Amino acid sequence: MAKFKIVISDPDSGTSKTVELEETRTIPLIGRRAGEVLDGAIVGLSGHKVQITGGSDKDGFPMRPNVHGGVRRKVMIGKGVGFNPKDKGERRRKMVRGNVITDEMMQINMKIVEKPKQAKKGKKKKDEVETPKKEIKIED
C-alpha cells in the first residue's frame, strides 16, 4: 500500500505542518489531480478545505500541473516546476511526474484555502482590545 507524507501550508500564518498517511487513509487521495480542492478531514483538519498544489514521487521527480496523467515523462520545459533556467530563453527536456496522484507518490503538498468560521476569528490586536472607560461627572 501507499505511504504519503503530506505537507500542509497555511498561507495566512506562513506556517506548515507535516502529516503522514498510511494504508487505507491514502485511498481518498489516489486519482486526485493537482489543483483540486478537498475536505480537510482526509488529512486530519476537519472543517477546513485544502487544495493540492503539487508533490514528488519516490525518486524525487516533481509533479507538474500541465503534464496530464500519473506517469513520468520527459517534457520540454522553459521555466517553472522542475527547471530553473540560467539563461534567458533556455529550455531543456526534463523528467517530471504528471498531475495525478498515484501510489508511487511520496510527498504531496497542500495549502489551506478555507477555514471554519471560529478559526477565522483570531485574537484582537492590542490596540483593538476594548478597555472600560471611566465616566467623568461634570457638576454645574
| Interval 3-33: pLDDT, tens | 889 999 999 889 999 999 888 888 888 999 9
Residue 131: what pLDDT?
55
Residue 116: what pLDDT?
82
Handedness of CA 17, 64, 22, 111 (dihedral sign): positive
pLDDT > 90 fraction of the chain, expressed in percent and rounded: 48
Residue 122: strand, helix, or coil: coil
Q: C-alpha angle with apex 21: 122 to 96, nearest 5 degrees? A: 100
pLDDT tens digits, one per residue of 42-64: 888 888 999 999 999 999 999 99
Compute CA distances 19 → 46, 86, 88, 91, 125, whole Å: 14, 35, 39, 35, 31
